[in-house]
Chains A and B, each alone.
Chain A
């Protein structure tokens, strides 16, 4: 009896294996026209050759370019606390721009077909998905996510000429030819935060809290350490706080930092970890202000950190958050896109906007190229289009960003950030913009 059960189990396993192999390896052929706009995983597609990556379709007399784009997100890994809303924002943007219409310089409509993959913040998985994007779908551009994976792929995307717009603002990406993001790099952002601390308190003492293993968390640390003495800030502690921290981890980190009597804490992780640190800060009565990196602080922070954090926490943001500029150009589009996706206004937050912005930057690139260039040079045409802002008209995403210029060899569009303080009054206050002028934080990171 057991033998028969095992036999049946064996047959099932073999069938499942064959099905899985067929699913993973193959993929049936579907005509691009049959795929609805904004196709998501795991929609099969025609195995791509380079010539098929941007295809022309459309009714007689009307040209339309279908552009295949990869969307690499973390919806289940350690950065999914901020990754889920980012992914939602990017997907909303693809749908919004497909409906609204994106046109090249010569008036040809471009429609996005995107393929989403959740890599769970595993850089090795990201490399596998990149290969899938490139070899199976033949994408021209990728809207990506984390630091370790984007850095890992930077040279490869340059070799393959795939435009890569990441949610990582690592300074190491500033010099990579096909990597872009609509923000200052992490190092410049962190230096601005240090400058703000120096302005707030003379001879300020700063303790660093971040995951000592994770590339994202570590990214701005060399720049902070190089710039702090210049700005008159003393680094008094360097504490390991895991990205996937528990409450106990955060309490341990805060207790360790307390020994050095800091005036400020830098939290270099994402919001889950940073909010736990803030909670511990309140619990142990540490008289210091915690300033978090851009992914470590947003509208949800007070709720996540709990009561008592008023006046004790702040975060870096290169942009005004959507809730505070609803009716301004750029922000209006973000809300419109959310509405189109059936997402309520209260769900539109900084992360959603960041996802939207990355897709919008891709749209800006398309609008600066011609259909011929796009068809012939694909990712390279988009790269050159963005770099045309270096000498020509700057790029601006409504009022969300200041005028941005991407120059060949230095994709650093602007250098100012706001320090968003959660005040004693229980409201967010945007201070700045602050810019660490006179010090090259990118160079300090790159060594």
Chain B
């Protein structure tokens, strides 16, 4: 009888759940997620919903920026494309469950179109181009799409078989189900040939081209996938909110998204994004309650945190946690 866990096939080696503890954690995690509304009450469930919305958006940006190395500061605007598409479709009588994928597709198209000039750019130039994209979309929202700063969403479209999906436990479970599906899909992207191509482009696009990777196509796909997730997040936001307004999709939110990726762990699509979203969302609430009268202090603290992670911890919180895990695993004989 061999000791330890042996992987005898390639499939077993590549499996997401490789050890018994993974299975136990999955079952416990799912059980926890299912009972969360009961444990936390409707207020806590509402916070969890917003966390999941931003988690999905961060996953998207982590694919574009963390995996493919394409800096984007337009994630919030693309989220807005998704939210407005869902809102307009819902108000036209389309069920929100149909409007959600449509909204994600609309954001994908917008992301690719706006990203077209960016496919030949990199680094700071790319960041500047994405700021321009954010500004253009914000202008379109403010002047054409939503000139009165708020579009109410038809509650009928959020009702399925007599159940209102826009609030309480039904909202939580709907968003949870969509988030899980989105996360499973994202978890496989990094392991696919596309994911490897993205990493190659991120690390050195000239080398990537030399080994036969179509750099422009890879960048386009990275933008498309990131935009899809942004649109999905926007549509979920529309599901969770009584109305949508352009104020939710500003440059500040895009910076928050980038902070979520940098603080959580760039390239660590699932756990990095989750940690980043959790840190920034709860961090903002904490800062808001501590520095209620000074928005400037909040930005200073946020800037400091981002600077710390960029300079000292480029792998983000997930990297720190990994080191803590290693430290504990080897303790007390770490040398």
Contacts and interface: CB of A to CB of B under 8 A. Distances in A.
Q: Is chain B a partner of chain A in the same complex?
A: yes
A105 B300 CA distance: 52
Interface stretch (A4-12, A279-287, A349-357, A384-392): A4-12
A47 to B, nearest CB: 5
B149 A213 contact: yes
A151 B150 contact: yes
A13 interface: yes
A3 B152 CA distance: 51
Interface string A140-160: 000000011001110110010
Contacts of A21: 278, 282
Interface string A109-153: 000000000101011100110011011100000000001100111
Interface stretch (A23-31, A250-258, A374-382, A427-435): A23-31
A369 B112 CA distance: 58
B305 to A, nearest CB: 9
B289 A41 contact: yes
A68 B263 CA distance: 38
A49 to B, nearest CB: 9
Contacts of B41: 47, 135-136
B90 to A, nearest CB: 13
Contacts of B46: 128, 131, 135
Given A7-B320, A7-B324, A75-B293, A132 B43 contact: yes
Given A25-B44, A122-B247, A10 B312 contact: no
15 contacts: A7-B323, A17-B278, A17-B282, A23-B289, A25-B40, A25-B47, A26-B44, A76-B292, A123-B247, A136-B41, A151-B150, A152-B242, A155-B242, A215-B150, A218-B148
Nearest to A215: B149
Contacts of B245: 123-124, 148, 152
Nearest to A77: B295
Interface of B: 40-44, 46-47, 50, 142-143, 147-150, 152, 155, 241-243, 245-248, 278-279, 282-283, 285-286, 288-289, 292-295, 308, 312-313, 317, 320-321, 323-324, 327
Interface SS of chain A: helix, strand, loop or mixed? helix
Interface residues of A, number: 49
A205 to B, nearest CB: 25
A268 to B, nearest CB: 14
B308 A9 contact: yes
A42 B278 contact: no
Given A17-B279, A75-B292, A136-B43, A24 B285 contact: yes
A137 to B, nearest CB: 9
B323 A3 contact: yes
Contact of B292 (A2, A26, A118, A123): A118
Given A25-B40, A76-B295, 4 more contacts: A17-B279, A20-B286, A76-B292, A148-B150
Contacts of A214: 149
A23 B285 CA distance: 9
A20 B248 CA distance: 23
A42 B289 contact: yes
A339 to B, nearest CB: 24
Contact of B317 (A10, A134, A153): A10
Of A3, A11, A25, the most chain B CB neighbours within 10 A belong to A25
Contacts of B295: 76-77, 120
Contacts of A20: 282-283, 285-286
A42 B295 CA distance: 18
A120 B252 CA distance: 14
A32 B147 CA distance: 44
Given A24-B47, A152-B242, A213 B278 contact: no
Nearest to B308: A9
